Every structure is written in C-alpha cells, then in structure tokens.
Amino acid sequence: MKSRLIEIAGVGLLIVVASSSAFAQAAIEPVPNQLAPPPIGTPSIGAGRPAVGTFVPLSDPWTTTNVSAEQPFGRIDVSHAGTTTAQVRTWAQTRTPMERNELSGRCQVISDSANSSRYPANAQAFCRTYDAMQVITPPALKY
C-alpha cells in the first residue's frame, strides 16, 4: 500500500514538473517579427500572433523594410490623432512611451525626402504635424 502511494505521488510530481517545464520553455521562446502584416488568410489575433496594440520590441532601426507603405504606423491607430499640433499633442500624451518612441522612429522614415513617393500623403502629413508638435512642446511639458 505504501509503495502504491509513493508511486502515485511520483507520477503526480512528474506531471507537475513536466507541465511547468513546458510552460517555462514557451515563455522564453523568441517572438518572431510581428511588425510585418500577416500573410493573406492569416488571422491577426491568435495563431501565435500578439493581439492588436501589443508592443513588440524592434531589434533593428526603423527603415523602409520594416515601415510598410500599407501600414506605415504598424498597429498604432493614428486616425483619431487630429490634424493640428494641439490635437496631436493631446492624443500623443495618451500613448505609452514605447508607442511614442515607435512613432518617432517610423516618422523619421516616412518624412525622409528619399521616401516621399513610397508613403501616402496622409501618413506624411501626420508625421509633419507629429514632428512639429515635438519641436514646439516646451521641455517641461514633454511626456
């Protein structure tokens, strides 16, 4: 009887250790580059992709390679930002520091005169306003 209880406890311990080991390994797996739009037919949520709005760190600098013309701002929705520097400033203050950093990097690529034919006019206009907002905002009021 005693050996049977030890055997059951051993199996239970094995299951706990194996499941926690699998969980830990899944937690440290590298995250693939999620900045590119998914292939056609791929769901945008699930299937190993982070939910919309999830920040995925970028290991390389922003370039035309990772700032697509179809989604110049990636997963950041700039449609509610407004068109004036005051509106954009108010909107930008509601963004996380990582999102603001990402917007600055993406806008550097979009605003580059060598890329003017690559990105839509509304993306270029947003970046001009976003850059102007950053320049005219006094340092004490910057986020």
Over residues 18-43, the mean pLDDT reads 46
Rg of the chain over CA atoms, in angstroms?
A: 23
Residue 135 in tokens: 């320049």
Contact 88, 143 (CB under 8 A): no
Phi/psi for 49 (5° steps) reads -95, 140
Average pLDDT, the chain: 73
Residue 100, pLDDT > 70, answer yes
The burial class, CB within 10 Å (0-12 / 13-18 / 19+), for 89 is buried
pTM over 0.95: no
Contact 73, 30 (CB under 8 A): no
Residue 68, pLDDT > 60, answer yes
pLDDT in tens, 130-139: 999 887 765 5
Residue 57, pLDDT > 70, answer no
